[in-house]
């Protein structure tokens, strides 16, 4: 009875209406769940909204969350365009954090701030890129499925981090906690706006989004990636070097995830620890998908999801709702957004009548 037909082009009003309606539905379902815990859903949503956009400070926290999401997702967009499913941003993010920490711990006294930060950025990107290079080479030369390799490498990265934190990099004065010492000011990314936590990483993210957009739309490399992603046989026929493209795209994707890891520890946490929010690596997959693999749209989507997470963490602190409820609200909204994305790409017919 229900039938889907692919759209040739997506009308603008649908691009706006469908996500809006999806969010409303997600809010509705999430609200029902909230009622079960004896709290008025309206108060909760009001609190989330205020917690995300209600004051300059919380607004800045929204942007703080959006920075890593944006950096990682635009890199993912590049490889997803090629039909390469990098699930490993989590691990690449961790490796970026680890590599840059090496300089933060060892070169803070010998380097000026700008040089040190530049070194940390490069190290972060190299760390993420190297971690992405492993599954890329396995895929390019031996056709090993990247979903499995990138996913498994996440755990290896996590345990390398744990090893360093419980071992060589643990601050002897941290009373046994797995933390490094706090980074010197030299190793901290400068703030963009005082009295907030918004750091230079925001600029990195915006620049990365623009560069990725240019790569995909305007360059030969981007063209090759699209040809490979849409029809690998035709790419071979045209003589496109598929192995080279996989490796290059993954190096960029991993490098951006690594840079996100670096920005997070250097701009926000100011030390290396076990909890450095690598889950952004998974959430960024959703960002990439919701933005329709368009890196400029990813800026808006990152901001919105940043608001959702920032707002949700606010109510966790201010209202007495169980932590699980917060996750439930987040996921029901995401779920409807992803489901709604189908309708932006396909027409829906019911009994032969076009519905949307």
Partner 1 sequence: MDAIVLQAKNISKHFPGVLANDHINFDLRKGEIHTLLGENGAGKTTLMNILDGIYYPDEGEIYLNGKRVDIRSPFEATKNGIGMIHQHFMLVDTLSVLENVVLGLESQGFYLDKKNISEKIAKISKKYNLDINPYAKIWQLSVGEQQRVEIIKTLFRGAKVLIMDEPTAVLTPQETDALFKILRRMIKEDKSIIFISHKLDEVMKISDRITVLRKGKLVGTVDKKEIKQKELAKMMVGREVLFRLDRNPMNRKGEILKIEDLETHNDKGIKILKGINFSIHGGEIFGLAGVSGNGQKELAEVIVGLRRAIAGKVYIKGEEVTNLCPKAITKEGTNYIPPDRLKVGLVPNLNTVENAILRRYDREPISRGIFLNYEEAAKYTRELIKQFNIMVPRENVPVKFLSGGNLQKLILAREIREEPALLIAVHPSRGLDVGATEFIRKKLLEERDQGVAILLISEDLEELLMISDRIGVIYEGEIEGIVDIDSADINEIGLMMAGVQKNPLDK
Positions touching partner 1 (CB under 8 A) are 1, 3, 8, 218-221, 223, 226-227, 230-231, 233-234, 236-241, 349, 351-352
Query: Rg of the Cα trace of the chain?
Result: 21
d(CA 96, CA 60): 24
Beta bridge partners of 199: 191
- What is the DSSP code string of 327-353? HHHHHHHHHHHHHHHHHHHEEEEETTE
Residues in the chain: 356
57 or 350: CB nearest partner 1:
350
CA triplet 74, 77, 79: central angle to 5 degrees?
A: 120
The angle formed by the CA atoms of residues 211, 217 and 222, to the nearest 5 degrees, is 85
Rounded to a whole number of angstroms, the minimum distance from the CB of residue 283 to partner 1 is 28
42/234 with CB nearer partner 1? 234
In the complex, least distance from residue 85 CB atom to partner 1, rounded to whole angstroms: 18
Closer to partner 1 by CB, 25 or 240: give it.
240
Say how many C-beta atoms besides its own lie within 10 A of residue 102's C-beta: 16
> By C-alpha distance, which of 204, 335, 350 is closest to 266?
204
State how far the Cα of 251 lies from the Cα of 246, in Å rounded to an integer. Answer: 8
Dihedrals phi, psi of 279, to nearest 5 degrees: -60, -20
Please identify, using beta-carbon distances, which residue of 54 and 292 lies nearer to partner 1.
292
Q: What pairs with residue 6 in β-bridges?
A: 346
- At its nearest, how many Å lie between partner 1 and the CB of residue 217? 9
Least distance from partner 1 to the Cβ atom of residue 225, Å: 12
Q: Which is nearer to partner 1, 162 or 218 (CB)?
A: 218
Q: Least distance from C-beta 11 to partner 1, angstroms? A: 12
Tokens of 233: 């046989």
User: Structure tokens of 60?
Assistant: 């800045």
Of the pair 9, 38, the CB lying nearest partner 1 is at 9
CA distance 77 to 211: 12
- Give the shortest CB-18-to-partner 1 separation in angstroms: 20
* Residue 29 Cβ vs partner 1, minimum distance, rounded to whole Å: 30
- Judged by beta carbon, residue 72 or residue 343, the one nearer partner 1 is 343
């Amino acid at each position: 009875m229900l039938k889907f037909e692919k759209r040739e082009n997506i009308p603008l009003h649908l691009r706006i209406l469908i996500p809006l309606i999806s969010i409303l539905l997600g809010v509705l379902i999430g609200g029902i769940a909230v009622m079960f815990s004896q709290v008025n859903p309206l108060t909760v949503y009001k609190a989330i909204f205020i917690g995300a956009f209600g004051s300059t400070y919380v607004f800045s926290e929204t942007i703080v969350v959006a920075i890593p999401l944006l950096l990682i997702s635009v890199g993912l967009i590049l490889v997803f365009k090629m039909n390469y499913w990098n699930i490993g941003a989590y691990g690449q993010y961790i490796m970026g954090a680890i590599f840059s920490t090496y300089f933060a711990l060892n070169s803070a006294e010998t380097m000026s701030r700008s040089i040190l930060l530049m070194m940390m950025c490069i190290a972060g990107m190299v760390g993420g890129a190297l971690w992405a290079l492993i599954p890329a080479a396995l895929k390019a030369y031996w056709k090993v499925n990247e979903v499995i390799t990138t996913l498994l490498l996440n755990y290896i990265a996590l345990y390398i981090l744990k090893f360093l934190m419980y071992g060589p990099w643990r601050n002897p004065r941290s009373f046994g906690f797995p933390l490094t010492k706090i980074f010197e000011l030299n190793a901290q990314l400068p703030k963009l706006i005082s009295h907030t936590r918004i750091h230079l990483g925001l600029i990195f993210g915006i620049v990365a989004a623009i560069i990725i957009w240019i790569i995909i739309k305007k360059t030969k490399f981007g063209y090759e990636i699209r040809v490979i992603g849409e029809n690998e046989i035709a790419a071979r026929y045209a003589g496109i070097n598929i192995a080279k493209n996989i490796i290059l795209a993954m190096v960029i994707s991993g490098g951006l995830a690594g840079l996100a890891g670096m920005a997070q520890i250097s701009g926000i946490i100011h030390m290396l620890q076990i909890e450095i929010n690598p889950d952004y690596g998974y959430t960024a997959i959703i960002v990439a998908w919701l933005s329709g693999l368009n890196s400029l749209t990813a800026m808006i989507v990152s901001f919105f999801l940043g608001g959702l997470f920032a707002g949700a963490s606010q109510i966790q602190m201010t209202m007495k709702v169980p932590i699980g409820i917060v996750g439930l609200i987040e996921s029901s909204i995401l779920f409807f957004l992803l489901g709604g994305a189908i309708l932006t790409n396909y027409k829906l017919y019911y009994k032969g009548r076009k519905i949307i």
